[in-house]
């Protein structure tokens, strides 16, 4: 029997139109909700953002100060971001690589706090290459913040790094060694 004969011989069950209609209504409703939350002109989106922005900006600037930056970083209601130093607005592209890294780290930590404030907390934080473009003071300040978060929030923090100054600064070191296409783990 060829494929066409097989398909013609197969019987189709009755279609439950009520179930199809219910699924279509649910999909329409979910699309409506998605539009309410993502359309930049949505009253609901604006209300949620306006309620959350002051808290986000407060946490963001707490982290920029903690990481040793003199910058004031602020999100506006349209989620655009401004960076200022001593009252003068700066273009993000004009920051040094280390300043950008610390601003980005501050943003990531601030958004994490906001999400924890709005939803259930997680006790895990993964950071890849935290040391890229940072001087020793920048690395020291970020490691200090991560250790405080780990202790104060009972959180496991995993840092992936190639920088030798990170080794031995956290509770435990795992070294991953790749040889001839295979990786192995050494625990210090």
What does the pLDDT look like over 20-59, one tens digit per residue? 999 999 999 999 988 888 887 888 888 888 889 999 999 9
Residue 79 has pLDDT above 90, yes or no: no
Distance CA 114, CA 76 (A): 15
User: Tell me: the pLDDT tens digits for 133-161?
Assistant: 778 888 888 888 888 888 888 888 888 88
Regarding beta strands 174-179 and 182-187, do their DSSP bridges make them parallel or antiparallel, or are they unpaired? Answer: antiparallel
pTM score: 0.69
3-state secondary structure 42-58: CHHHHHHHHHHHHHHHH
pLDDT at 55: 94
């Amino acid at each position: 029997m060829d494929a066409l004969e097989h398909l013609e011989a197969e019987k189709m069950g009755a279609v439950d139109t009520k179930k199809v209609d219910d699924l279509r209504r649910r999909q329409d409703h979910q699309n409506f909700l998605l539009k309410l939350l993502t359309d930049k002109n949505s009253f609901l989106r604006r209300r949620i953002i306006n309620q959350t922005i002051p808290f986000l900006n407060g946490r963001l600037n707490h982290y920029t100060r903690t990481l040793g930056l003199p910058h004031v970083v602020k999100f506006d209601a349209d989620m655009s971001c401004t960076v200022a130093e001593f009252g003068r607005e700066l273009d993000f592209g004009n920051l040094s690589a280390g300043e950008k890294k610390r601003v980005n780290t501050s943003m990531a930590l601030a958004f994490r706090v906001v999400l924890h404030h709005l939803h259930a907390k997680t006790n895990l934080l993964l950071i890849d290459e935290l040391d890229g473009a940072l001087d020793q003071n920048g690395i020291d300040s970020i490691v200090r913040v991560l250790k405080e978060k780990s202790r104060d929030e009972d959180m496991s923090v995993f840092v992936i790094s190639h920088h030798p100054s990170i080794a031995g600064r956290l509770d435990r070191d795992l070294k991953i060694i790749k040889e001839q296409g295979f990786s192995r783990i050494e625990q210090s």
